[in-house]
Amino acid sequence: MLLNPPGMLNPASLPHWPYAHALDQELTRHGIPPGAVRVERGYRYSTTMRLVLSWDASRCAGPGGIRLIWHDDTGWAHSLLRPDAVGAIPRGPLTALHRVFATPHDVAQLAGALVSRRFHLYEGEHHDQWEGVAQIRAAIGAFHLAMRADRAS
């Protein structure tokens, strides 16, 4: 993972950074670190925390790449990256991950299955939740309150 991705914000200042770091460590342990990572705060209807992990076609079995997208309110989804690198084909939620904060181990197992196109492994169900979830949810809540206070003043 690119632990200090370029951008205006220091990613370590974002409340979901510890989850991204834990994911990075587990993906690396499984031998499938993503080729590109974005750790950001989205600007949809409200401020949501977001992670994007990408593996381009050169790092995947099959004709294209894979992108995993995480939002703090909805959890994990994925899309297939076209071989011509001109966009992605949304595939929807990763229903096998039943928790918004799925364990890094479960995410790494599913990422490995998607990258290698061993889809039979992707069909399992993973119900465990990451042990750092309470601290991250509290940090995200505090971040949202600070954002609302800034908008109100």
Residue of 22 and 60 predicted with greater confidence: 22
CB 111 within 8 A of CB 53: yes
Read off the pLDDT of residues 88-129 as tens digits, 9 standing for 90 and up. 666 666 766 767 899 999 899 888 888 887 655 555 566 788
Q: How confident is the model at residue 1 (pLDDT cuts 50, 70, 90)?
A: very low
The gap between the terminal CA atoms of the chain, to the nearest Å, is: 37
Residue at 39: amino acid letter: V
Predicted confidence (pLDDT) per residue in 66-95, tens digit: 888 888 888 888 888 877 656 666 666 676
Check: CB of residue 106 under 8 Å from CB of residue 126. yes
CA distance 54 to 36: 5
Tell me the whole-structure pTM to 2 decimals.
0.79
The 10s digit of each residue's pLDDT in 137-146 is: 999 889 888 8
DSSP 52: E
